[in-house]
Chain A
Amino acid sequence: MKLMMTGQDDVSILPGTVLKGKWHGKHYQIIRKLGSGAQGTVYLAHADQRTVAVKVAKDRASLISEMNVLKEFNQLGADLLGPYLYDTDDWQEGGRLIAFSVMEYLRGTALNEALPTQSFDWIAVFLVQLLRHLQNLHRIGYAFGDLKPENLMLMDPGHHVRCLDFGGATRLGRSIREYTEFYDRGYWGLGTRKAEPGYDLFACGMIMLYAASGRRFEKSAHPEEQLLHICRTKPQLAPYREIVAGALTGRYTSADQMRRDLLSRLMERQNTVKAIRPKKKNRRSAKKDWAKAWMTASLLLGVYVIFVMIYIM
């Protein structure tokens, strides 16, 4: 038996083809291919006057596992985490039974394609948004697993990111279902492949390194030093250095904590930029403020001491 369990790997569906569900009897007319990856192919399709995304996986088991996760999100009302799941069915085609699922179509650009066109400031903002999604995901008991720019979508109107491919989503405490070496802490010798918040946060750190380097790089003989060196030397990373290093070395155990650090760093940085221009004046006024504060404090202390003395007597 070859690697793929159901032999769906060579399925290619032409535009205009109608997929008829064996179980639920719904029809989906394929418009065009949206993209294909290691796990399967996603098509744009028409159904009941709306446009949907139809995913045909190479491996039935992995498709069904992913749909289990999406279904759970939908039930928990955690809709924003993933696309809404409309239908899962089988399509009988030429003696083969092809499993597919129908999801909400998220219009946008995959983050790996969008990154080169964005300024680095935006990347930090995307990460703040992503960390909010991850916090929600971890709270309901899942790690994202295969976190990488290819699985994140920069939505078309507005500037926000959403997670796209949940094939790697794994219950916390279990072993990560799918991963990509470059974003996997196990590959870099910096932790286990157990599903826990820190696993996703490591990938967040790697997304920052990827964005700063513009490419995936090879592992050297001393991976930890290699990553921290990149973290130290890339000028774009300078403001976020400790946060990224913290994510890579497992210092963060919650997405919320990393998000707050990143957010405060982003806000703080804007203040320092403003403060540079009126430098002299600022310093003088700061000194004045300080003296004023001292006076007030000693005055208050004096009043307090007198008050206490009077009270004792």
Chain B
Amino acid sequence: MKKGNLKQILLITDGCSNQGEDPSAMAALAREQGITVNVIGILDHFDSEDSRGLMEVEDIARAGGGISQIVQTKQLAQTVQMVTKQAMTQTIKGVINQELQDILGETGTVEDLPPEKQGKVMEVIDELGETVDLNVCILVDTSASMKAKLPTVREALTDLSLSLSARMGSNQFCLYLFPGKRKPVHKVIGWTPNLENIEKTFAKIDTHGVTPTGPAIREAAKSFGMLSKRSMIFEDEAYDDGPR
């Protein structure tokens, strides 16, 4: 397997979408383009409204080939980095399973190997997870109900950057917030290798009522196109204009 890069969308939300396209459909579309969609649902108390949100969180991740996790605000930081890392492992494992099937036929998955061989495969997966380049587009729901949770979200993202920067492979992040002022989604940070100085970004946010999760996922998927174009034209600069 050649050393490639992994593309992930990380959606952080607390509830249901209520505007635009079906978010699961958009997540499936992203997956078609080789982008994994992971979803973290922040639910501090479970009531009927929240359980609908919970369903949606799982649906989006399933359609996007990623991982979903429901957390309370307090556990966000550790969950964000864990979900991102586990989703990486899962993607790598998926690729390896695919290759195994090509060699061994239909039944060939890692689980079908004896433990000694599984150990060898895990070493390869660990090695790839450590060295592969990772691009994460972070999509944060800033609808009114999220307002109180945003300081924790900011901390969790700084923590994610810290965790991933300890890897040997390189990382690129970009940050989108939704809803935007006159458009469904607003790009606040373009592709950049670390997320250390994002305090200001979150200070300026005014929260809105609608939650256009579907359109936001579509825009986030587009951002990877800019990444590949950009890496051909300029190597290292991050640029910060809004989505077109």
A1 on the B face (CB < 8 A): yes
The tally of residues in A whose CB lies under 8 Å from a CB in B reads 29
Bound form: Cα–Cα A176–B86 in Å: 13
Is B168 interfacial (CB 8 A cutoff)? yes
Are B168 and A1 in touch, CB under 8 angstroms? no
CB-defined contacts of A1 to chain B, threshold 8 Å: 61-62, 65-68, 90
Indicate with 1 or 0, residue by residue over A208-248, a CB within 8 angstroms of chain B CB atoms.
00000000000000000000000000000000000000000
Q: Note all chain A residues with C-beta closer than 8 A to B58.
A: 2
Tell yes or no: B165 within 8 A of A by CB: yes
Which B residue sits closest to A199, measured CB to CB?
Answer: B166
B132 to chain A, nearest CB (A): 12
Residues of A within 8 A of B210 (CB): none
Q: Is A3 an interface residue (CB 8 A)?
A: yes
Contact A181 B167 (CB under 8 A): no
The answer to whether B115 and A5 touch across the interface, beta carbons within 8 angstroms, is no
Beyond A1-B62, A2-B68, is A23–B126 a contact (Cβ under 8 Å)?
no
Q: Is the CB of B67 within 8 A of A193?
A: no
- In the bound assembly, the distance between CA atoms of A194 and B164 in angstroms comes to 10
Q: Dominant SS at the A interface?
A: mixed
Q: B125 within 8 Å of A by Cβ? A: yes
Known: A1-B66, A5-B86, A89-B115. A187 touches B159 (CB 8 A): yes
Could you say which of B13-21, B42-50, B116-124 contacts chain A?
Answer: B116-124
Q: Across the two chains, which residue of chain A brings its CB closest to B83?
A: A3
Enumerate A56-102 residues with CB–CB distance to B below 8 Å. 60-61, 64-65, 67-68, 71, 88-90, 97, 99
Taking the nearest CB of chain B, how far is it from the CB of A65, in angstroms?
Answer: 5
Knowing A23-B114, A181-B77, the reply to whether A186 touches B163 (Cβ < 8 A) is yes
CA distance A1 to B89 in the complex (A): 13
Residues of B within 8 A of A (CB): 58, 61-62, 65-69, 77-78, 83, 86, 89-90, 93, 111, 114-116, 118-119, 122-123, 125-126, 130, 159, 162-168
Q: Which residues of A contact B (CB under 8 A)?
A: 1-3, 5-6, 23, 60-61, 64-65, 67-68, 71, 88-90, 97, 99, 173-176, 181, 186-187, 192-195
